[in-house]
Amino acid sequence: MAETENLNETSAQIKSSKGEEDIIQIVGMHKWYGEFHVLKDINLSVKAKERIVVCGPSGSGKSTMIRCINRLEEHQQGQIVVNGIELTNDLKRIEETRREVGMVFQHFNLFPHLTVLENCTLGPIWVRHTPKKEAEESAMEYLERVKIPEQALKFPGQLSGGQQQRVAIARSLCMNPKIMLFDEPTSALDPEMIKEVLDVMIELAETGMTMIVVTHEMGFAKTVADRVIFMDEGEIIEQNDPHEFFDNAQHERTQLFLSQILAH
């Protein structure tokens, strides 16, 4: 009984806050892997153009949370509304959401059998039904923005890690998404390549893209983020603007995490 009441309450909340420009709304979301309770009562709203950095210890559920936003993972309880569409098992809604949400992965996940350019045009041509020529032109523009237009005809296997990740970013941008999700985009990269990827992300942030970035690059969080979220053991422990977050962490676990991560 109590549970159904809760649900009613949350859907009422969503309705009331519609109209405002919350582009992502997660309300009372839970997720389990079998018996394992990975995400516990996640509540998060993101405004359009907001830039959010998510951090927390390994295994705390950061990836799982952002993967719920484009339904790479299914949640079992609560609500997720993205760009006005509530995510359910309905394939139509999932596809519609994914069209507006780009994702960049830790291991790039470029398609090795396609050239850089083909990687970038695949989505626009097949999902957005853009004519091939137009898709290619716009792909070249994005490749220029991530500063590798000269690699367009190469295969991903011939590029360095940093270049591959920049292609992956361009590939997502080619879909013209409203929201970009980044899951540790720099943690598989050698130190000298991290900067080139972060630079691209900073430029992207300046264009006003809504971004949710899972990262441990605290410098990036300080310069770019509007809000930093700290997760531990499947819960959002604390969220604050970067200055408050780094200088004045409220929670003991946040302080411990920050001291560990800033130690080196």
Partner 1 sequence: MTLSKTEKPLTVTEDGGYLPGTHPDLPPPASVHGPVHWIQYNLFGSVTNTALTLLTIYFLYTVIPQLVDWIYLDAAFEGESRKDCRAVANGACWAFIGNRLSLFIYGFYPEAERWRVDLTFVLLILALVPVLYDGTPQRGKALIYSCLYPLIAAFFLVGGFGLERVPTDQFGGLMLNIIIGVTGIAFSLPIGILLALGRQSHLPIVRILCVSFIEFIRGVPLITLFFVAAVMLSYFVPPGTNFDLLVRILIMGTLFASGYMAEVIRGGLQAIPKGQYEAADAMGLKYWQSMRKVILPQALKISIPGIVNTFIGLYKDTTLVIVIGRLDILGIGNSSLADSKWQGLSTEVYVFVAIFFFISCFSMSRYSLWLEKKLHTGH
Ligand X SMILES: Nc1ncnc2c1ncn2[C@@H]1O[C@H](COP(=O)(O)OP(=O)(O)OP(=O)(O)O)[C@@H](O)[C@H]1O
Interacting residue ranges for ligand X, rule: CB under 6 A? 33, 36, 38, 56, 58-64
Nearer to partner 1, 34 or 157 (CB): 157
**Binding of partner 1 at residue 111 (CB under 8 A)?**
yes
Give Dmax (Cα) for the chain: 61
Q: DSSP for 66-91?
A: HHHHTTSS--SEEEEEETTEE--S-H
For 5-148, list the strands marked E by DSSP. 22-33, 36-47, 51-55, 77-82, 85-86, 101-104
Q: In this chain, which stretch among 131-139, 151-159, 214-222, 236-244 interacts with partner 1, using CB under 8 A?
A: 151-159
Contact 93, 86 (CB under 8 A): yes
Nearer to partner 1, 120 or 228 (CB): 120
128-to-28, 71, 94, 108, 168 alpha-carbon distances in Å: 33, 19, 15, 22, 18
The pattern of x and - marking residues 172 through 211 that bind partner 1 according to CB under 8 A reads x--x------------------------------------
**Binding of partner 1 at residue 158 (CB under 8 A)?**
yes
Of positions 25, 60, 63, 186, contacts Mg ion by CB under 5 A? 63
Binding partner of residue 204 among ligand X, Mg ion, partner 1, none, CB cut-off 5 to 8 Å per kind: none
Q: How far is the CB of 96 from partner 1 (least distance, A)?
A: 8
Contact 150, 121 (CB under 8 A): no
Q: How far is the CB of 55 from ligand X (least distance, A)?
A: 9
Q: How far is the CB of 11 from partner 1 (least distance, A)?
A: 27
Nearer to partner 1, 169 or 237 (CB): 169
In this chain, which residue has its C-beta nearest to Mg ion? 63
Cross-sheet strand order for the sheet of 235-240: 101-104, 179-183, 210-214, 51-55, 227-232, 235-240
Taking the C-alpha atoms of residue 262 and residue 65, their distance in angstroms, rounded to an integer, is 24
| 240: three-class secondary structure by DSSP | strand
Which residues partner with 228 through β-bridges?
53, 240
Taking the C-alpha atoms of residue 178 and residue 78, their distance in angstroms, rounded to an integer, is 23
User: By the criterion CB under 5 A, which residues form the site for Mg ion?
Assistant: 63
User: By the criterion CB under 8 A, which residues form the site for partner 1?
Assistant: 70, 72, 95, 98-99, 101-103, 105, 107, 109-113, 122-123, 126-127, 155-158, 171-172, 175
